Each structure stands twice: as structure tokens, then as C-alpha cells.
Structure 1
Amino acid sequence: MTRWTPDPTFYPSPREAVTAPAEKLAYVAAFDRTATRPDAIVVLDTDPDSPDYGRVVGWTDLPYVGDELHHFGWNACSSALCPTAPHPHVERRYLIVPGLRSSRIHVLDTQPDPRQPQIVKVIGAEELAKRAGYSRPHTVHCGPDGIYLSALGGADGAEGPGGIAILDHTTFEVRGAWEADRGPQFLAYDVWWHLTQDVLVTSEWGTPSMIEDGIIGELLLGRRYGHAIHFWDLAKRRHVQRIDLGDQHQMPLELRPAHDPTKSYGFVGVVISVEDLSASIWLWHRDGDAWAVTKVIDIPAEPADPANLPDLLKPFGAVPPLVTDIDLSVDDRFLYVSCWGTGELRQYDVSNPLHPVQTGSVHLGGIVRRTAHPSAPDEALAGGPQMVEVSRDGRRVYVSNSLYGAWDDQFYPDGVGAWLAKLDVDVDAGGLTPDERFFPHGDEFRGLRVHQTRLQGGDASSDSYCYP
């Protein structure tokens, strides 16, 4: 008799997930801004006892050009252990890798050799459009009933509405659009949920024409980018509530709900306020039978000599923080906030989510600062901490420096290069320290820019849990 057992990287609760063994590998999305070479999934060695620690040990080129890899995720994760999951014995084996510009979706098998993922399927843009009515796929989440894939655009060149497509866990076929009733929702970006409460949350960025050539000043100052988050009935796939943060708060992007399934709150980062160039973090939480949001963190812009600023910022004489990613540790204690414009990663203790306390900060890069990494003190860095990934045990944080090709060019017109850093966390008192042994950069990425990182076995932004 065959005995089936769940994937050992799946954990029923966040409490158990923080005891998981340390990752040995990291998978990184790397893209060619010129769209003349294939993008790639790069594999890094993260085992400090390995002779290859901090180096590129695997490389998989994609079959086409012009994808612009951005966010990607696993086919399955700890949500497979939820009581409603119809597939408890799937494996965390395949990486689902969308191309934000091409609308192609690549499926890579990380077995039998996790250092050499193999492409096993490519879903064309036409299939995504035909079956789900979407284009420009963005965020991937492994749910208990399928793979959820947010998308920014509509099909056949339509600007929208953006929304969520569902892929089959095993065949990776596009099942269709998730929404049964989208209500007033039109703009899309991120998606995540409170699984045990049948609540799904989405955020807003812009339609393809609003983002693909960078920030459009007229749209930003006209307050035309997204400025709301949406709450949905996950089981009925129906829109429930829209909360407007105020149209001065442009681009609420990354969503990070509490990992503890008994909690009813989460954080969303706002890129910029058009009133003062500040960035902010907001908390969503219950308010009786409805949802409410409260601003809990303000990060001001930093004054700067216009001569040192890119053209887009010269009239303002300041560097905006540009909060473009956030991540919440699996124990829900620390929130990490990337300030890509000022070149800073901030750490906040959010044990009391309504009253965050800053406990750590590391500067790398920045539009004006160009802070060097301690392992290469004479090498000024462009870009800044952008995509953030936290290990399951909360002791390591990985940051990469590229945001999005068109944005890179606007804010760092002399180039962003390519680098990825690892920071060690003091999990008792808080605080961050760069690991001087781990700094792959420059030629190691063969001229490609690096964006999101996924950790072998799972990480803080990949898994959802149904037990406390």
C-alpha cells in the first residue's frame, strides 16, 4: 500500500513554521531591461557552511525575450494543510514565474536538482486572456484550492479591469477569472487573504499604460493611480467593501496580513503622498462588522540638492522614501519596510500593530546616498533595498535592488546595476546587520537586473496557515 504524507516543508501553523530548518538555496528573478536576452531564474547558495556561500550556483534561462520577470511563487505551500484543501499531498516543487510585460507564465520544476530548475510548461498570453480575460500577471499565491494569480490588465489590449486568475495546482491550466462579482474594483495589484475568515484583500497600482513607461507625472499629480484597498468574500468570490485611503496616498501596493489565522489585521504600504512625497504604512483591522484602516507609520521625504536628483525629482528638492515593498515575519513580530528611494531598509516591532516601534535600519544605495555594502566599502551602490524576503525563522532578511525597469531608469538614470544582500536579524532585541560574506553583485548576474527572491522550503511571504 502506498502511504502519502504531506510535504515536509508544509507547516499547519506559523508557530511550527518558525522552527523550520534554514534555507540552503534562494531563487531570484533576473531580467534583461533591453529585452534582447532571455530573463532567468538564478539560484544562490545560502548555506553558510558551503564553499559556494553567497554565490550563484544555478542558472535557468527562459525560452523567450521581453518577459520582465517580476514576482513569482510556489505552486503549493502550507495552505495545502487547511481543512478545506482538496489536495493535501501536493509538493512545493514548481515555481510559477509570470512575465509582467509579456503576460507569459512559466512553470519551472525544482526537482530532481534544485540548483537547476527545468522549464516544464509555458502558458501563453493568449491562453490567460482567453480563459481568464486578463493580462500582465503579477502576484502568485498558493491557495488551498488553486494557484491565485493577480493581473493588472484586461485581455486583448484592454486597460482593465485587472483581477485574479486561478490556475490548477497539478496541470497549471488557467481555470478562469476568480471574481464572481467585482463591484467597483477596477485597478489591481496585490492579493492575499485571511483564509480561515473567508476574507480576501486586494490593492491597486495602475493599468498597463499607466505603469509600463514609468511614473507619469500628470497622472501622479492628478491623483489617478490607485489609492484604495478592497475586501472580498473569499468563499463567494464577491466584493464586500472598498476603503479609500485618500487620493493623495498614491499606490497602496504590498499587502501583508497577519500569519496567525486567528488575527484580523494586516499591513499595506503606500508608495508616495503627492502632498509631501512621504510614504506610509497602514493597518487594516475590524471595525464591528466592517473593515477600517489606520495609518500607523509615516516616513518623510529627505531634503536634497536638486543637482543630485533625477529630472523627475528636481522640482521638489527632496528624495521620497518610495516604500515599494514590505514583509512581515512569520511570528508577526517584525515588519520590514523597503525605502527604495532613500536606500534604507527599516525594521519595526509590530507586536502592537497599532503602535509600531522602529527597532532597526540599514542603508544600502539610495538616489543620493549611494551607500556601499560593508564588503565593498569603495563601491557606491545604485538602487536600494527593494524586494524583501524574510526566512521562516525570522533570522535572515534578503533584499534585492531593482524595482521595475521603467522606474529604475527614471529614479536611477545612470543605472541600477545588480546586487542582492543578506541581513542578519537580532530576533530578541531587534536590529539588522549586513552579512559581509553574502553580497552577490555585478558580473555575477551577467548583466541582468535582480528582483524578487524566493527561499527554498518557503519564506515569510509565500505561505498561509489555517491553525494558530
Structure 2
Amino acid sequence: MKFTAPDPTFYPSARLAMEGPREKLGYVVALAADGGSASGNPDALAVIDLNPDSPEYGRIIHWLAVPAIGDELHHFGWNACSSALCPYAPHPHLERRYLVIPGIRSSRIYIVDTKANPRRPEIVKQIEPEELVRKTGYTRPHTVHCGPDGIYVSALGNEKGEGPGGIFILDHFSFEPLGRWEMDRGPQVFAYDFWWHINQDILISSEWGAPWMLEDGLLPEQLMKGAYGRALHVWDLRKRRHLQTLDVGEKQQMVLEVRPAHDPRKSYGFTGVVISLEDLSSSVWLWYRDGDNWAIRKIIEIPAEPAKEEELPPLLKSFRAVPPVLTDIDLSLDDRFLYLSCWGTGELLQYDVTDPFHPKRISSLHLGGITRREAHPRLPQKPLNGGCQMVEISRDGKRVYLTNSLYRAWDEQFYPEGIRGWMALAHAGDDGLHWDERFLVEFPLTHRAHQIRLQGGDCSTDSFCFP
């Protein structure tokens, strides 16, 4: 009888994952700054050396260009993770081997194999948009999560580029699209992120907008009408049906990342709201179980910063303020620290959420920003643009990685001079946050850095079925 041990990067619990080895490599998607159509320049997957003892620390060590043009690679993920150890659908023979990388603009999906040489991964399969539409009815794939029974992918719209968006499933082994996940979607129309309370059979999804509201940039008339997403949706994970809508109010626009507690015994999580129509603030909301139902409340508010009209892009001049534009949040594996990434002001915020109802602000740093243009300690005389955007935390909670591009059409509105792509690293210690002065990855002028994945897993990848 042949015995096959589980992948050593699968951990039964978040606590055990925190004890795992340090990440040595990072994988970052890089989108063509001009969209690729004019220059014939494709998007790419950059491999970054994260080993501080390496002579190549903080450098791009491999550049994997994709074969097509105009994909806009987005929120990619692993094919398998610690959820493979869940007892109700165990697949311990799976490996954390493949990166599933969606193109949000092309609706094409790439499967990238990292096993043979993690420093030089290779594309082994493409799912073309025609196949995706034929088998799921969805387009604009956005977020990838590895579940115990398949690979879950959110999509922003249907084949016409309209709503409803939703979730579809890829087979764990063949990567074939299996079909739509929802059996009964209820009132849900907009889609964006999703994740779950896996032991409680609950999935939470969020809202951005339909593709036509996003692909040419933020539409001010739609924003002022309160037409973008403003709710979370609660689903029965097993029965795949809608249970409840958690509305944050018509003045709150664009409910994006969802970060449930990693401990499967806990019944709460965090989501970020990009902007308030009342005062341009951003906010963090807590969802939680309340008796037999679920409830939501605002727990953090981040105000806009006053600014001179001449310092602002055309989109913001009349407001004379810089909105935080909270575009990403991430939660450490011990459920202790929540990190908020404010793309407009260039601020990274750290909160202690040990008591999730009463968060405490611990520390903050700035890098880039619409008006601040804060420099990095490695290049103190060089103002940076873009702002803290995608954020990813190491499993042990000691390192916070950041990149600075949001979405190409939106980049042009908020940073009209064009974004120069970068990746930075902040160390998180007992004394708060501080920049790693050795680590600043500058991307080629032709490309911008977006989603980050860490070798062996990270804090927005894995689900755990054991406390």
C-alpha cells in the first residue's frame, strides 16, 4: 500500500500555520501599463526573492509573460490550500502547486505550475473566455479561493458584461469550469469578493458593480446616485442559496474585501467600504452572528484629508480633499491585527482587533499617495506615486507586503500622470510598523504591480477547519 503524505504547506489550524517556515518567494501579477493593445505588451507574473539572506533579496528574479494581450491579470490564488484537510471533503493528496490567475478584462484564466522550479514557474493550461461563458455564463473572473471541494472563482458579470455576477467552480484536478455555484441567488446582483465560515456552512460575498460601471473607470454620475455595491450577502455554503442581505446604507459605496476570522469557531469577519458620499471617508464594518441571523456594524472610520485643488486629479478637484480610498484589508492568522490599505492617501494602518467590536489603532505608515507622494527610506529623495493598495501578510504575522496599482482605468483617474509600479515590505513588531529599508521592488515602467501571493500560503489564501 502506497502512502502519500499531505502537502507540508497544508496546516490543520491557523496556529500551526504560523509556526511554518518563512516564505522565500513571492508571486506578483504585473499588468501592462498601457493595457498592451498599443504596444503588444502582455501582462506577466513576476517572481520576487523574499529571502533576506539571498544576494537577490528584494529583486525580480523571473518574469513570466503571458501569451495574450489585454488580460489585466487580477486576484489570483492557489489551486489548493489547508482547506484540503477539512474532514467533510478531504483531499489531502492535492498539492499547493498551481496558481490560478484570472484576467479580469479578457475573462481568460491561466494555470501556472510552480512545482518543477518555484523560481521559474510555467503556464500549463489556458481557459479561454468562450469556454468560461459556455460552461458558467459568467465573465470578468475576479477572485480565486481554494475550497475543500473545488476551486471557487468570483465573476463580476454575465456574458453581456452586465449583472448578475456570481461564483463558479473549477475542478481541482483538470481545472475544467464545472458551472455556476449559486442554486438560488435571491436578490444578489453585484459581485466582488467572497470567503466563508467553512465549519459553519456560511459563505459571505461582497459587491463592487457590473463590468460596464468599472471598466472605463469610476463613473461619477453612478457614484453620486449611490449605484455601486452597498451590501454583503450571506449564503448557505452547502445548499448554495442566499440567506440574508447585510446593507450598509445607500451613502456607503463599494463594499470590497471580506476577511472572516481564521479560527473556525468564530462567527465574525471584516469588510472594507471604499467611500462615503457624505464626507469621502472610508470605513471598516464587522459582520457577526446575532442570534439566528447575521448583523453588521461600522467599527472604524478613516476621514478624508483636506487638499489644495491644484494638487488633485480632475476627478477630485471640486471636493478639495483626498479620500482614503480603502481598497484592501487583511487579517493576521491569529485574528489579532487587521491591516488597512488606503490607496488615495498612501497610508497603511494597523489595528488590534482582538476585541473585534472595539478595534484599537496601533500604528501607521505612509508610502506614495495622491498629494503626499511619500518616499521610501531606500530612496528618500524619490517621491513615489500610487499608494498602498494590495496588502498581504506572512503566515507568522511579522511581514506585511504591499503593491500600488488598483485597476488600470482607475489608476489613470486617481494618478493621471501614470503609476510607476512598486512593491514594499513593512515589518510588524511589538513597536508597530516600520519599513524594511532594503526592500523596495521597482517594476519596469511598462508594468504595474497588483496581487501578491506568498510561497507556502499567506493570510488571504487558506481556510482552516480545526481550531
Place the TM-score, normalised by the shorter chain, in its bin.
over 0.9
Task: Please give the secondary structure, in 2, of the residue aligned with 1:297.
Answer: strand
Alignment check: 8 A CA contact 1:33 1:68 kept: no
Letter in 2 for 1:308: E
Matches within 5 A, 1:36-435: 36-155=40-159, 157-426=160-429, 429=430, 431-435=432-436
Deviation at 1:446, TM superposition (A): 5.5
4+ long deviations beyond 3 Å: none
User: 2:84, 2:463 → 1: CA distance?
Assistant: 9
User: 1:366, 1:408 → 2: CA distance?
Assistant: 12
Tell me the TM-score normalized by structure 2: 0.98
- 2:15 counterpart residue number: 15
Deviation at 1:430, TM superposition (A): 5.2
Letter in 1 for 2:154: S
Deviation at 1:158, TM superposition (A): 4.2
User: 2:436, 2:352 → 1: CA distance?
Assistant: 21
Residue by residue over 1:394-413, the C-alpha shift from the partner in whole angstroms, topping out at 9 and shown as x without a partner, is 00000000011011100000
User: 1:233, 1:111 → 2: CA distance?
Assistant: 35
What RMSD in Å do the two structures reach over aligned CA positions? 0.8
Residue by residue over 1:15-56, the C-alpha shift from the partner in whole angstroms, topping out at 9 and shown as x without a partner, is 111101100000000010322311000000000011110011
Alignment check: 8 A CA contact 1:74 1:140 kept: yes
User: 1:247, 1:406 → 2: CA distance?
Assistant: 24
Task: Please give the secondary structure, in 1, of the residue aligned with 2:262.
Answer: coil
Point out where structure 1 has 5 or more consecutive residues left out of the alignment: none
Alignment check: 8 A CA contact 1:153 1:159 kept: yes
Task: Please give the secondary structure, in 1, of the residue aligned with 2:232.
Answer: strand
Residue by residue over 1:278-315, the C-alpha shift from the partner in whole angstroms, topping out at 9 and shown as x without a partner, is 00000000111000001000000000001100001000
Residue by residue over 1:434-456, the C-alpha shift from the partner in whole angstroms, topping out at 9 and shown as x without a partner, is 00111011xx4352100011000
Letter in 2 for 1:62: V
- 1:451 counterpart residue number: 450
Task: Please give the secondary structure, in 2, of the residue aligned with 1:438.
Answer: strand
User: 1:446, 1:404 → 2: CA distance?
Assistant: 16
User: 1:462, 1:445 → 2: CA distance?
Assistant: 27
Letter in 1 for 2:145: H
Tell me the TM-score normalized by structure 1: 0.98
Residue by residue over 1:77-114, the C-alpha shift from the partner in whole angstroms, topping out at 9 and shown as x without a partner, is 00000002242210000000000000000000002100
Letter in 2 for 1:420: M
User: 1:33, 1:378 → 2: CA distance?
Assistant: 24
Deviation at 1:377, TM superposition (A): 0.4
Deviation at 1:70, TM superposition (A): 1.3
User: 2:425, 2:343 → 1: CA distance?
Assistant: 16
Point out where structure 2 has 5 or more consecutive residues left out of the alignment: none
Letter in 1 for 2:28: V
Residue by residue over 1:378-417, the C-alpha shift from the partner in whole angstroms, topping out at 9 and shown as x without a partner, is 1100001100000000000000000110111000001110
Residue by residue over 1:183-215, the C-alpha shift from the partner in whole angstroms, topping out at 9 and shown as x without a partner, is 000000001000000000000000110000110
Letter in 1 for 2:58: G
Equivalent pairs counted in the alignment come to 463
